[in-house]
Structure 1
Amino acid sequence: MAYKVLNNILVKDTNSTSLITLNTSLLVLVINKNTKNNEAFIDLDKTSKGYIKKSISSHLKDNGSSVLLPQISGIKAESIMLIKGLDENAPTHKWLSQYQGIAKLANKLKAKNLTILCGNIFPKGKNENWLIEMVAKTIESNAYIFSDTKNKTAKKPSLKNLTILTSGLSGSDLSKAKQSAKKGFAIGEGVNSAKHLGDMPANHCTPRIIEKKVKAMKKDFPKLKIKSYNENDLAKMKMGSFLSVGRGSDEPSRMMVIEYKGGSPSEKPIALVGKGITFDTGGVSLKPPQAMDEMKWDMCGAASVFGVMSTLARLNAKVNVVGVMACAENMCSAKATKPGDVVTSMSGQTIEILNTDAEGRLVLCDALTFVGKYNPRYVIDMATLTGAVVIALGRHASGVMANDQYLADMIINAGEDSGDRAWQLPLWDEHQSCTKTDYADLANIGGGREAGTIHAAAFLSKFTNDYKWAHIDIAATASYSSPVKAGTGRPVPLLSELILSKKLK
């Protein structure tokens, strides 16, 4: 399964494409200090008899301000949107926000074709190819509208085609621009794949349904190697911690492994491990009822693995990556795990489960042990693990903790490059005492209210001594409660950038 909104993203240069005769539903002109010298813009304004320049003078006062013009006589575009561009000092999130707004406006106007003249200004330290990739990624991922569980009120995205216009590019430079758009398109598709899986209601997205969707990836991406493990398989591998989480549910747990081999056979893979709790009541340690519906997004770590693997396969990327999706439903019943129960993990370490609502780490620890069999270069897990990270960092950055500083640095750098930001929290030896208990090798919670995000990572670190590992807590970034409840697809952009840039040595 893949979830792609747009049919095509093209890159054309104004040297060979006239703005006047361009057949498009919506033409967006990003106006900056260089626009007045752009020959294509000058010709367009002449055809409008100066109307476009007058509209710029009267309406575009502040950065980000915009005006929508109806069809102008002599110009084929059905509508023209003028938007005051940002300068090179504007932070990345403002660039993303600008193009998010354009994608949503295109759907609102029921535009089928969108054409954007981005201008040749971009954030300091970036280049035009970064801008083109960002535009393609952002338009694709924000043209998305979830409607799968609607009948009478369903709204589908109208937007189907995007053309990005450059000025003065030809030959190899234009080819590079087209490759950047292709990369951005694939990352945007990966974001949508993750969002779509997360947005599905829990009764439409159980571990077994996810299993079917993962297996269906073979139709789009036949090169992927996919294996699924049922509860009997997990039991044979002695994953007592993983299995303890789904014990109270009628929905059986599943673990899916997706292998992508596009690199050298001698190259060790990067491993991605995602938490996939398809619904989290908290179990016997029951959550409060407020906003419990949002616990359908507790599988966004697994959804991110799904999205990244889709991106890599779409691009035929020259990398080796293993993705593990650890899926279970955490319910309360007579069969459910109880506080104080002790289980044995795949690693052989016993765990006293003091809080059944700290369940994500219980599936992850066995998945992290399992992934060691692939002899990975690096292992990165991502999970909606703690409410504490929401308080610590808010929705703007995912929390990163690691046993390897280089890996942590590269994750944070990829976040800055992609606009999908992350921030490192410490993982010191002092934090390890939180896992101590008199009744097992480890406790799944400890330390009281302080440093909850770090203590969760400290627990996971007990299972990652054999490789270089980082944990990304996405509880604040994978979905939002306001202004509308929705998945974001993060950290697919960050992870895609990290892997595709090949900066991780």
Structure 2
Amino acid sequence: MSTQLLFSDAVSFATPLLAVFAVDIAVGTDAPALPTLLTTSDALSDAASAFLTSGEFKAACGETLLLHSPNGLKADRLLIVGLGKVSKLAPTELRIGAGTAVRVAKTKSIRNIAIVFPEDRAISDEHLESLDCMPSARSLVEGALLADFDPDTYRSDRKDRSLESITLLAPDQQKATQDEIRAGHAEGVIFAEAQNFTRSLVNEPGNVLTPTELGRRTAAMCQTAGLSCEVHSTAKLKELGMGAFLGVAQGSAEPPALIVMRYKPAQLAPGGKIVALVGKGITFDTGGISIKPADGMDKMKYDMAGAGAMIGAMQAIAALKPKIEVISVICSAENMPSGTAYKPGDVLTAMSGKTIEIMNTDAEGRLVLADGLHYAKTLGATHLIDAATLTGAVVVALGKVNSGLFSNDEATCDHFHAAAKIAGEHFWRLPCTEDYRELIKSSIADIMNTGRDRWGGSITAAMFLKEFVGDTPWVHLDIAGQAWIDDHHTEIAKGPSGVAVRSIVEWVRALSV
């Protein structure tokens, strides 16, 4: 699909569908909705005025109203998309609005649409803070491109409804403003394409996306993006002494893959920081000997979503070119039950030399990450971030609204919170303090791979990882609740979400300054 940006009058633009945004400017919870278009075009307002005053359209976020053959416009259809209360309007609502417009077009097999860039001057200053052009343009493009993704890849009767083109129509403004909109448009394409690449990886079934195949696809992306990439397997893991990673992999006929990507810019910012992105890449998780219930096991192909997020982030980093060195370590394996599988009660020796008593073989993600985090440190990492669909406990704690955030460093955590806010993604910090360490102490080894009871499961998992981080500033993202969308939303299809890609990239950019 192509995206283009035009500084052109929307009224005279011929398109099968023209989308324009509306907000509710009513003040107070009991006041009736007052839908108002975010445009200064009288022709657009006139075409919609009868419907905006009828009371049938409230401009709630994601609400739509489709008008055919609108008077005074060259567009075949005018789609009014609500963004909610004007007092709460932010780039996130623009992302939802653009995505909603694309999803409406897809259901009607419309292949080409245009979106009217929102104008804050259409609303008085007392109701709306200024909408900055750059983040607005970026959010619109992100929302539109993310909405075009559908997960029905393997349906034999699939009718491809992907859009052919999306045009963003911005008013003809001063050059400085146009440059900001262009920059936002370009970044939006980079972020959305990276996130969709992640989603395409997570969407693949386990019989297709084996660890070896994940390595191939990652290497192909790196070659295109200009990144260096090495893909290793069992022999290298043995050479490095990655006993925890090998323990997980030994139950499968599929060999593991240790994938290492590197980005090094021509010009580095002062400070000598090297950021490492470490991802859990379990391409299918049965739970091993501690096997999972059959119900829902089909979704365990998404247990490599943390690795997918890091791979997508590296694609975006290569395009954005921050002035900081970035390494990514992906630890990929299958967790299978067999005669060679590791067992509860086994003791594994990690690359760092720590010994681990296995209490549950379904707590395998933290084992591969333990070796991945330590290996990243040996490669020179000064800052670490990992992402993983690590625990069901984090979903119990936070539901599917926030992902879990853990850190051992306040400044690093603050940087990530700021990055997530820019990215429009939701993370909630949970404790990772030494008083929880008692829960993973083993009587036979250094640590256990689960807590001694079920309480605080996402925290004890983070404490386990912290053992392999040391004093290196570190962020751990437990994305189990948000990596998969169970139901269609107005702006995005159900299936893999690609969560954390945008936040990780923004965090890297913040560290590069």
Same fold flag (TM > 0.5):
yes
Secondary structure, in 3 states, of the residue corresponding to 2:60? coil
Say if 1:9 and 1:136, in contact at 8 Å, map to a contact too: no
Secondary structure, in 3 states, of the residue corresponding to 1:304? helix
Moved over 6 A (4+): 33-37
Q: How does 1:392-471 map to 2 (within 5 A)?
A: 392-471=397-476
Say if 2:9 and 2:169, in contact at 8 Å, map to a contact too: no
Which residue pairs with 1:3 in the alignment? Answer: none
Say if 1:414 and 1:495, in contact at 8 Å, map to a contact too: yes
- Provide the rounded CA distance (Å) in 2 between the counterparts of 1:459 and 1:245: 16
Say if 1:137 and 1:188, in contact at 8 Å, map to a contact too: yes
- Provide the rounded CA distance (Å) in 2 between the counterparts of 1:38 and 1:394: 37
Displacement after TM superposition at 1:390 (Å): 0.2
**1:130-184 CA distance string (max 9 Å, x none):** 2211111111111111233222x22324313222233352212201111111111
Among 150, 164, 169, the alignment partner of 1:165 is: 169
Displacement after TM superposition at 1:74 (Å): 5.7
Q: Is structure 2 residue 196 aligned with structure 1 residue 200?
A: no
Displacement after TM superposition at 1:61 (Å): 3.1
Q: How does 1:182-261 map to 2 (within 5 A)?
A: 182-221=186-225, 223-261=226-264
Secondary structure, in 3 states, of the residue corresponding to 1:495? helix
Q: Is structure 2 residue 2 aligned with structure 1 residue 7?
A: yes
Say if 2:222 and 2:315, in contact at 8 Å, map to a contact too: no
Which residue pairs with 2:499 in the alignment? Answer: 490
CA distance 1:86–1:262, change in 2 (3 Å): farther
Which residue pairs with 2:13 in the alignment? Answer: 22
- Provide the rounded CA distance (Å) in 2 between the counterparts of 1:297 and 1:140: 21
Say if 1:281 and 1:332, in contact at 8 Å, map to a contact too: yes
**1:448-505 CA distance string (max 9 Å, x none):** 11111010010111110141111110010111334575110001121122223x2566
- Provide the rounded CA distance (Å) in 2 between the counterparts of 1:126 and 1:75: 26
Say if 2:38 and 2:118, in contact at 8 Å, map to a contact too: no
- Provide the rounded CA distance (Å) in 1 between the counterparts of 2:246 and 2:37: 64
Secondary structure, in 3 states, of the residue corresponding to 2:351? coil
Among 113, 129, 135, the alignment partner of 1:130 is: 135
Secondary structure, in 3 states, of the residue corresponding to 2:66? strand
CA distance 1:182–1:292, change in 2 (3 Å): same
Amino-acid identity (%): 32
Which residue pairs with 2:50 in the alignment? Answer: 54
Superposition TM-score, scaled by structure 2 size: 0.90
Q: How does 1:366-405 map to 2 (within 5 A)?
A: 366-405=371-410
Displacement after TM superposition at 1:437 (Å): 1.1
- Provide the rounded CA distance (Å) in 1 between the counterparts of 2:47 and 2:389: 51
Unpaired segments of 5 or more residues in structure 1?
A: 1-5
**1:253-287 CA distance string (max 9 Å, x none):** 00101111126346322111000000000000011
- Provide the rounded CA distance (Å) in 2 between the counterparts of 1:330 and 1:76: 57
Q: Is structure 2 residue 52 aligned with structure 1 residue 63?
A: no
Which residue pairs with 2:115 in the alignment? Answer: 116
Superposition TM-score, scaled by structure 1 size: 0.91
**1:327-373 CA distance string (max 9 Å, x none):** 00000001100100111110011111111000000000000010012
Secondary structure, in 3 states, of the residue corresponding to 1:408? helix
Which residue pairs with 1:146 in the alignment? Answer: 151
Say if 1:268 and 1:375, in contact at 8 Å, map to a contact too: no
Which residue pairs with 2:102 in the alignment? Answer: 103
Secondary structure, in 3 states, of the residue corresponding to 1:204? coil
**1:18-65 CA distance string (max 9 Å, x none):** 2233132210011346967955x21456xxxx4432233234334344
Which residue pairs with 2:343 in the alignment? Answer: 338
Among 363, 369, 379, the alignment partner of 1:364 is: 369
- Provide the rounded CA distance (Å) in 1 between the counterparts of 2:472 and 2:21: 47
Which residue pairs with 2:32 in the alignment? Answer: none
Q: Give the letter for the 2:195 counterpart.
A: V
- Provide the rounded CA distance (Å) in 1 between the counterparts of 2:140 and 2:507: 18
Displacement after TM superposition at 1:100 (Å): 2.6
Number of residue pairs matched by the alignment:
488
Unpaired segments of 5 or more residues in structure 2?
A: 26-34
